[in-house]
Structure 1
Amino acid sequence: MDGANFPVVAIGASAGGLEAFRTLLAALPAESGLAFILVQHLDPSHGSMMAELLAHHTALTVLEAHEDMQLEPDHVYVIPPGRYLAVRNGAIQLSRPKAGQAVRMPFDFLLHSLAEEFGERAVCIILSGTATDGSVGARAIKAAGGLVIAQDPEEAEFDGMPRSAIATGAVDLVLPLAKIPEALAKYSGHPYLKTGDSDVALPAGDGALKIIDLLRKRTSHDFTLYKEGTIGHRIQRRMAMAGIEDANRYLELVTKDPAELQRLANDLFINVT
C-alpha cells in the first residue's frame, strides 16, 4: 500500500460541529503520530475561516486542505467549502460535486477513500450533526478493519449524525469527547496497526484457537471454516480496541464478557457481507 504509513483520522460533523471540533482538538496531544481530516458541512458560496478558528485551540498544525497536499502526522486538514475530499497515495485530492446533486455526502465520500487507502489505519469519528452523512462510510471503514467512533448522542448538540451511525451497527465505540483521545492512543499504539497486512495470521499462542472454540460454543456460529487471516485480523482488531496485546489475555476478557464475544462475532460477519 502506497502513501502514508501512519493512522489517518477522519472527523465529520455538521450542525454543532465547530464547538465539538474545538473541544476534541484541544484534548489531543501535540505529538500523537496521527493525521486528522475534518469534514464540516459548509456553505459552498462562502470562504471558510474554520482552519484559523481551530488553530487557536490545539497544538497541532491546522491547515485548509489543498490539492495534492501530502498528509503528515500531527497535522489537521480542514475540507474547503464546496468540495469533496479523498486521499490517494497519501495525498489529498479535491473535487467538486456533480452539477444538480441534491444531497451532498462529503464525509461518506472521504471515508470510502480512506477505507480503500488505509485499511486498519483508517479511523472514523462522527460528531454532532443532523441527517446521515458518515453512516455509509462508517461501514466501509469497519469492513476494511479500521475503527469507528461516535460521539455520545446524549452529549452532542445535534444527535442525528451519531445516532444514524450507531443504528448501522458499524460503530465500535460510543464516547464523550473527553474520552476519545484515550481511545485513539490505545488503538493507534497497538501492534495490529503496524503489520500493514490485512492477511495476518492468528495471534501467537493457543488463546486465539480457544477464542474460535468459544465463539462456536457460545454464539452458535462456527467460524472454523473462515480464512485464518480473516479471523486473525478481526481478533487483533478487537484486541487493539481493548489495548490488549496477548491473545490469552483477550481470551480471559471474552470468557468473562459475553458482550465483547458478541462484538467479535458481529465483526466477523461484517467482514464477509
Structure 2
Amino acid sequence: MLKRRPKDTKRFRSEPKKRIAQAPRPPRNRGKFLVVGIGASAGGLDACKNLLGSLSASKGMAFILVQHLDPTHESMMVELLAAHTSMTVVQAMDGMPIEPDHFYVIPPGTYLSVDEGALRLSQPLARHGARLPFDYLLHTLATNFGPRAVCVILSGTGTDGSLGLKTIKENRGLVIVQDPEEAAFDGMPRSAIMTGAVDFVLPVAKIGEALVTYDQQMAGSDKHSGHP
C-alpha cells in the first residue's frame, strides 16, 4: 500500500496548470516494469550518454529524462542520445503511453509528469523565477508507480530533485545519485545527498548495474507474492 502524499504536495501540484494537448492517452498497466526518472542540468548530456552506455543489460525498463534546457531553442537531445542506445528515444508528447525499452526526453519550456501510465505535458505558469521540473516529475512518478519508481540524479547545478526524491522514498522507490566527485557540476548530486534519502551514490558506469539488480528484486518480489 502506498503511503500518504507528503505535506508539500500543493507545491508540486500548483506549478504547471496549462496542459498541452497532443496525442490521445490509452490505458496502461502500470505495475510490470521500472520507470526511471533522470534529472540533470549543466554537464548532464555527457553524463546521460555514459549512463546509456551502462544500460546494455537494462531491458524492459522505461526512462524519462528531465534535462534543464533553454526554453527558447529546439532541443537536439533525442538525436544526441539515440546514437548511444538501442532503446527507442523520443521527445515526450502529452498522452504518450509509457512503454518498456523507451527513453523519453522532456521538450524545452515544459513541465512533464505521469498519470495513469501516460506522459502529461504542461506549461509552467511563471516565466521567471526558480523552476523545478524534475521535482514535479518525481512527485507524480512516485504516486503513480510506487516501488517501481526510480530517481537518478546526474550532473547539474542547483537543487532540483532534492524535494521530489523524498516522495520517491516515501512511496518505497529507489534513489540513485551520480558520485559528485565524478560529476562535471556537483550541485544537484550534493544537494540530493544532503537529504539523507539517497540509496546509492555511484559512478555513472555503475548505475545501470544497480538498476538491473533492483529490477530483479522487484521481479522476485512479484513472484513471491504470486503476481504474474
Say yes or no: TM over 0.5. Answer: yes
Percent identity at matched positions? 61
Q: Normalised by the size of structure 2, how large is the TM-score?
A: 0.82
Q: 2:49 maps to which residue? A: 22
Q: Give the 3 Å change call, closer, same or farther, for CA 139–31 of structure 1 in structure 2.
A: closer
Using the alignment, how far apart are the partners of 1:42 and 1:183 within structure 2? 27
CA distance in 1, matches of 2:102, 2:87: 6
- Counterpart CA distance in 2 for 1:105 and 1:157 is 20
User: Using a 3 Å threshold, how does the CA distance of structure 1 residues 100 and 61 change in structure 2: closer, same or farther?
Assistant: closer
Task: Report the alpha carbon displacement of residue 99 of structure 1 after superposing the two structures with TM.
Answer: 2.9
Deviations 1:187-213 (A, max 9, x none): 0111477549xxx8xxxxxxxxxxxxx
1:138 and 2:165 are equivalent in the alignment: yes
Instruction: Provide, for residues 197-255 of structure 1, a one-character-per-residue CA deviation record: whole Å limited to 9, x for no partner.
Output: xxx8xxxxxxxxxxxxxxxxxxxxxxxxxxxxxxxxxxxxxxxxxxxxxxxxxxxxxxx
> What value does the CA root-mean-square deviation take over the aligned residues?
1.8
Give 2:106's aligned residue.
79
Letter in 1 for 2:207: I
Change (3 A) 1:44 1:13: same
Which letter does structure 1 place at the counterpart of 2:104?
A: Y
Structure 1 match to 2:126: 99
Measure, in 1, the Cα distance between the counterparts of 2:161 and 2:51: 18
Query: 1 CA distance for matches of 2:186 and 2:66?
Result: 17
Higher fraction of strand: 2
Partner of 2:153: 126
Q: 1:153 aligns with which of 177, 180, 200?
A: 180
Query: Residue 201 of structure 2 aligns to a residue in which SS?
Result: strand
Q: Which has the higher contact order (CA 8 A, sep 6+)?
A: 2
Aligned position for 2:193: 166
| Inter-partner Cα distance in structure 1 for 2:215 and 2:173 | 10
Between structures 1 and 2, the one with greater helix share:
1
Distance in 1 of aligned mates of 2:64 and 2:153: 12
2:135 paired residue number: 108
Task: Select the residue among 203, 216, 220 that pairs with 1:176.
Answer: 203
Task: State the distance in 2 between where 1:193 and 1:14 align.
Answer: 34
**Unaligned stretches of 5+ residues in structure 1:** 201-273
Determine whether 1:11 maps to 2:38: yes
Shift of the 179–67 alpha-carbon distance from structure 1 to 2, 3 Å rule, reads same
Which 5+ residue runs of structure 2 have no aligned equivalent? 3-27
Which one has a bigger Cα radius of gyration?
A: 1
- 1:186 is aligned to 213
8 Å contact from structure 1 (residues 124, 138) kept in 2 = yes
Q: CA deviation at 1:32?
A: 1.4
Whether the 8 Å CA contact 1:65–1:79 is kept in 2: the answer is: yes
Task: Give the Cα–Cα distance (whole angstroms) in 2 for the partners of residues 168 and 143 of structure 1.
Answer: 13
Q: TM-score, normalised by structure 1?
A: 0.69
- The answer for the alignment partner of 1:41 in structure 2 is 68
Contact 2:94 2:121 in 1 (8 A): yes
Q: Whole-Å Cα distance in 2 between the matches of residues 82 and 32 of structure 1?
A: 30
The amino acid across from 1:147 in the alignment is: L
Is the CA contact (8 Å cut-off) linking 2:175 and 2:199 kept in structure 1? yes
Q: How many residues align?
A: 197
